[in-house]
Chain A
Amino acid sequence: MKNYETVIGLEVHVELATKTKIFCSCSTAFGGAPNTHTCPVCTGMPGSLPVLNRQVVEYAMAVGLATNCDITRYGKFDRKNYFYPDNPQNYQISQLYLPICRNGHVDIETSAGKKSIGIHEIHMEEDAGKLIHDEWEDCSLVDYNRSGVPLIEIVSEPDMRSADEVIAYLEKLRLIIQYLGASDCKLQEGSMRADVNLSVREVGAEKFGTRTEMKNLNSFKAIARAIEGEKARQIELIEEGKAVIQETRRWDDNKEYSYAMRSKEDAQDYRYFPEPDLVPVVISEEWLEEVRSRQPELRDEKMARYRREYDIPDYDIEILTGSKHMADLFEETIAICGKPKEVSNWLMVETMRLLKEKNQEPEDISFSPEHLAALIGLIGDGKINRTTAKEVFEVIFAEDVDPVAYVEEKGLGMVSDDGALREVVENVIRDNPQSVEDYHAGKKKAIGFLVGQTMKAMHGKADPAKINKLLAELL
């Protein structure tokens, strides 16, 4: 078999985190009863007109700036005409001729090394509604709650050569967009969707092979599998002397196979033309500067700062900044209690363990920085020991309880009365003469047993350092 190279470009749709829709003031919130987040505009009623949501433009600009794009200073919206019931006007308002961002790139790193992936363009558009087939009545119903939810489509250059690079690129985009607060980018929930354009060619060939476009990819794992599957399918065709057909294919992740949806021949003519109901999007120098000045610290900058400011290992920095939510939690907690290393430890060890156990993502962390800081405070003040602290943390993780009140209520605080502790230690020494003898005979390890016995008698609520000190004194 010849040596083949895979050429991949992505079209990534991202649902923006605006409170209202792109062309009307309806809510974008998930989960409303069907057709409750609708109005004449997003249901395509006669005579209704779109009005552009300024926040959509600002998010698109922010993503463009963060991905090194040129921002189009005089942009326009265009109508993409096609008939489908989820699309109430039978045209989608999108951007074809003058998209808001062009000519960008993001830098990725894989085991194959560092690479820059080009971004052809980013454009703004509206989402469609949802068709629901009612089996009982044998009819289709439409829910327009999602109709008009703002999207950006990020179109890459065909610069990726492997599934690894695709995943690295998507991870990078996801983090950038999450850091900007422009979207939560959840693949499973559809707030980030990627279509994969893939072709293969012999290594060294100058021309690209015929590409296919794959849809219905709901996770990074599915994307990786789809790339491998499609690559194999195309190579097999070529090896058999058959041609790859330019078409759109639907990936079935259960069967690990893609199915042809429509070929280029039945591709629709969308009859794009400038949207006459909207005025051009003119971005002034001031507006651009305003958005630029509001750009938050992105991940690469944050990692560099952590290295500079905190004495924590690179690996930890990687994990902490690998989720905007986690990094925020880290920074908010140390803003209250300091101790970056200790805060990092709680997030890196206990938090990650519990997330894994519960099969959750860092974005799902629901406890507040105040409560983690308070827990660290209790340890620092010698109010609880580490064993107790871990138990309390599990409750904080699950229910975000206030650790001070919780420790108080459950009586988990360490006994700070030195007189009471001294009495218990004296009793332990008296009741364990063999260990005392061993200790004096030079078996220093015997003290461990005596500490344990004391702790047991104290129901775990004593400070081990104090017990050690008292034992040394009394023995």
Chain B
Amino acid sequence: MSILSMTAVELSKKIKEKEISVKEAVQASLDQIEAGEKKYNCYVTVDPEGALAQAEAIQKKIDDGELTGPLAGVPMAVKDNICTKGLKTTCSSKILYNFVPPYDAEAADHLKKAGAVILGKTNMDEFAMGSTTETSAFGATKNPWNTEHVPGGSSGGSCSAVAANECFAALGSDTGGSIRQPSSFCGVTGLKPTYGTVSRYGLIAYGSSLDQIGPVAKDVADCAAILDVIAGHDRKDSTSVARETYDFVSALQDDVKGMKIGIPAGYFGEGLDPEVKAAVLAAADVLKAKGAEVEMFDLGLIEYAIPAYYVIASAEASSNLARFDGVKYGYRTEEYEGLHNMYKKTRSEGFGPEVKRRIMLGSFVLSSGYYDAYYLKALRTKALIKQEFDRAFERFDVILAPAAPTTAPKLGESLANPLQMYLGDIYTISVNLAGLPGISVPCGTDAKGLPIGVQMIGNCFEEKKILRAAYSFQKEHPFAACPGAVL
């Protein structure tokens, strides 16, 4: 078994058993990056010197018995909207092209303390706005399963890097599906935790009330191991929740007997690709065969999720992105006359079209006279959607759905019609609006050989249930390595 084909948990075991050194693992990843980046463009920044230096320090701590956890020595990547001390963090935007944070995001700090080696920062849609990773100011990332296709987004760099074996696992962020949808497109496993589980401190905000950091990995076991490390109550994030336990690995049991699984009938109607539909329903059958009780049900308000999401996320974004003004850090236009002109030119040149579109939309819905009609109404819709899920979870342990209506589209197809692209978020967005945990697990490929993901959604703070369901499913249906990834 080659180093790169291992999962994170398998690798750390081999490292602890001294069969593989941390340096070997890091070097293997760096070589893979070297070979793969020409084709995929998963990373904005790769930090070979830093990674090798970390490898040495971590190896020593492992040898001294200081580091014993399942991420010790594992080469990982971090999405480029998660601050890393001393390592450029750009949000794939020109406006932050040179920003080097003087602090680590809480989640990155947890990874480092657990002994993960940070290889670099992964590409994304600019400020996490997009579903294809094509809105990056540093070029699109390509899907390792077929480089004519997008990897999805916005955590497309993280998901394609895992699929291409350019890292063992990665951190992504999910505001409306940005972990689950690209995981589905890249054939990897990605989990969006309950809002408040992973600290947002140091995550460069897009939609603050929806953003959540989560793991992207080869399989469910790795996701649980990473979540164990990154989750925790953080006083620096007021929206962080003090949970009773942060042990997720114990949920990895191959047992779904008696588990009640609901399938929202409304998710399987018009707009869903037949091949995706078949694969997802087949996944439900796998769980049924293992003893789960699977039932179709009606989930209300599905059609209101997308408009509510785009109003709330854009409103928050319009304010969150106001700080990028050329005054304190990042890009500043070269020539300007006076303050107003500096702001205008800096922001016009620094932001890409999708970001501008959402800033304009957000500014509009918050403006005087429109606030009640749009923003307030969207907040009420959000509350009602949460109630719909509350009702569903009175009956079900897990809700099973597609992660996306299609497999990965071709490069260049999506941006031409942003509204169509927004509609692709239909299955993931409600989960963010309701603050729920969701996981996307590979469940097959379409006729073109592109991966399909099945999404499992849990009630708030019930990651363990979806981890158990996903783990049980993966026992029957192990993840497939990306055939195109050079090994």
Contact = CB atoms under 8 A, between A and B. Distances in A.
A102 interface: no
Given A83-B322, A277-B205, 19 more contacts: A45-B101, A46-B89, A47-B200, A47-B204, A48-B201, A51-B236, A52-B238, A79-B319, A81-B366, A90-B325, A91-B319, A91-B322, A271-B366, A271-B367, A271-B371, A273-B366, A273-B371, A276-B207, A276-B239
Contacts of A273: 315-316, 319, 366, 371, 375
A283 to B, nearest CB: 16
Contacts of A279: 238-239
Contacts of A140: 339
Interface string A271-291: 111001111000000000000
A47 B203 contact: yes
B323 A88 contact: yes
28 contacts: A40-B103, A44-B323, A45-B102, A46-B83, A46-B329, A47-B83, A47-B101, A47-B201, A49-B236, A49-B238, A50-B238, A51-B238, A81-B319, A85-B325, A85-B327, A89-B323, A271-B318, A271-B368, A273-B315, A273-B319, A273-B375, A276-B207, A276-B208, A277-B205, A277-B238, A277-B239, A278-B238, A279-B238
Given A49-B200, A142-B327, A81 B235 contact: no
Contacts of A52: 238
Interface string B199-220: 0111111011100000000000
A48 B208 CA distance: 11
Nearest to B199: A49
Given A49-B236, A79-B319, A276 B209 contact: yes
B146 interface: no
Max chain B CB contacts within 10 Å: which of A88, A142, A273, A279? A273
A83 B202 contact: no
Nearest to A91: B319
B99 interface: yes
B183 interface: no
Contacts of B375: 273
Contacts of A48: 201-202
A269 interface: yes
Nearest to A81: B319
Interface in B76-94: 82-83, 89, 91
A396 to B, nearest CB: 47
Contacts of B91: 46
B328 A88 contact: yes
B327 A47 contact: no
A50 B323 CA distance: 14
Nearest to A83: B343
A374 to B, nearest CB: 48
Contact of B101 (A46, A51, A271, A272): A46
A46 B208 contact: no
A47 B205 CA distance: 6
Interface in B325-360: 325, 327-329, 339, 343
Interface of B: 82-83, 89, 91, 96, 99, 101-103, 105, 200-205, 207-209, 235-239, 315-316, 318-319, 322-325, 327-329, 339, 343, 363, 366-368, 371, 375
A43 interface: yes
Nearest to A39: B103
Interface residues of A, number: 29
Contacts of B202: 47-48
A51 B235 contact: yes
A276 B316 contact: yes
A111 B239 CA distance: 52
Interface string A41-80: 0011111111110000000000000000000000000010
B323 A40 contact: no
A457 to B, nearest CB: 75
B84 to A, nearest CB: 10
Contact of A277 (B105, B208, B339, B368): B208
Contacts of B318: 81, 271
Contact of B323 (A46, A51, A142, A276): A46
Contacts of B235: 51
A345 to B, nearest CB: 53
A51 B237 CA distance: 7
A76 to B, nearest CB: 12
